[in-house]
A and B are shown apart, each in its own frame.
Chain A
Amino acid sequence: MGRTLAEKVWDDHVVRRAEGEPDLLYIDLHLLHEVTSPQAFDGLRKNGRTVRRTDLTIATEDHNTPTLDIDKPIADPVSRTQLETLRRNCADFGVRLHPLGDDEQGVVHVVGPQLGLTQPGMTVVCGDSHTSTHGAFGALAFGIGTSQVEHVLATQTLPMAPFRTMAVTVTGELPDGVTAKDLILAIIARIGTGGGQGYVIEYRGEAIEKLSMEARMTICNMSIEAGARAGMIAPDETTFAYLDGRDHAPTGPDRDAAVSYWRTLRTDDDAVFDHEVVIDATELAPFVTWGTNPGQGLPLSGSVPDPASFADAGERLAAEKALEYMGLSAGQPLRDIAVDTVFVGSCTNGRIEDLRAAASVIEGRSVADGVRMLVVPGSVRVALQAVAEGLDKVFTAAGAEWRHAGCSMCLGMNPDQLAPGERSASTSNRNFEGRQGKGGRTHLVSPQVAAASAVTGRLASPADLDVSDAALPAGV
Chain B
Amino acid sequence: MEAFTTHTGRAVPLRRGNVDTDQIIPAHWLKKVTRDGFEDGLFEAWRKDPGFALNLPEYAGATVLVAGKDFGTGSSREHAVWALQNYGFKAVISARFADIFRGNSLKNGLLTVVLPQAAVDTLWQLTESDPATEVTVDLVAREVRAGATFRESFELDENARWRLLEGLDDISLTLREEDSIAAYEASRPTFKPRTLTA
Contacts and interface: CB of A to CB of B under 8 A. Distances in A.
Interface of A: 15-16, 24, 26, 28-29, 38-39, 42-43, 46-47, 49, 54-58, 78, 81-82, 85, 96, 116-117, 119, 122, 145-147, 150-151, 154-157, 159, 248-250, 254-255, 257-258, 261
Contacts of A38: 33-34
A34 to B, nearest CB: 8
A157 B182 CA distance: 11
4 tightest A-B CB contacts, nearest first: A38-B33, A258-B191, A254-B191, A248-B193
The interface residues of chain B, by DSSP majority, are classed as loop
Contacts of A255: 191
Contacts of B170: 147, 151, 159
A15 B171 CA distance: 15
B196 A150 contact: no
Interface stretch (B15-23, B66-74, B115-123, B173-181): B173-181
Contact of B174 (A24, A146, A249): A24
Interface residues of B, number: 29
B184 A55 contact: no
B129 interface: no
Given A81-B33, A147-B107, A116 B193 contact: yes
A55 B195 contact: yes
Given A15-B184, A248-B193, A159 B33 contact: no
A29 B88 CA distance: 37
B75 to A, nearest CB: 12
Interface in B75-134: 76, 78, 82, 107
30 contacts: A24-B177, A26-B184, A26-B188, A29-B195, A38-B33, A39-B33, A39-B82, A42-B34, A42-B35, A55-B194, A58-B195, A78-B31, A81-B33, A96-B195, A96-B196, A145-B78, A147-B170, A154-B174, A154-B175, A155-B175, A157-B174, A157-B181, A159-B170, A248-B193, A248-B195, A250-B193, A254-B190, A257-B191, A258-B191, A261-B191
Given A58-B195, A147-B107, A16 B180 contact: yes
Given A15-B181, A254-B190, 17 more contacts: A15-B177, A16-B177, A24-B180, A28-B192, A39-B34, A42-B35, A55-B196, A57-B195, A78-B31, A117-B193, A119-B193, A150-B171, A154-B174, A248-B194, A250-B193, A257-B189, A257-B190
Contacts of B175: 154-155
A96 B181 CA distance: 23
Nearest to B178: A155
B33 A155 contact: no
Residue among B181, B190, B191, B194 having the largest count of chain A Cβ atoms under 10 Å: B191
Interface in B141-198: 170-171, 174-175, 177, 180-181, 184-185, 188-196, 198
A56 B78 contact: no
A151 B33 CA distance: 17
A16 B196 CA distance: 27
A257 B192 CA distance: 10
Given A147-B78, A150-B171, A155-B171, A29 B193 contact: yes
B176 to A, nearest CB: 10
Contacts of B82: 39
A255 B22 CA distance: 52
B36 interface: yes
Contacts of B177: 15-16, 24, 157
Contacts of B193: 28-29, 116-117, 119, 248-250
Contacts of B188: 26
Contacts of A156: 181, 185
Contacts of A147: 78, 107, 170
Nearest to B192: A28
Interface in B28-79: 31, 33-36, 76, 78
Residue among A155, A254, A261 having the largest count of chain B Cβ atoms under 10 Å: A155
Nearest to B180: A16
Contacts of B185: 26, 156
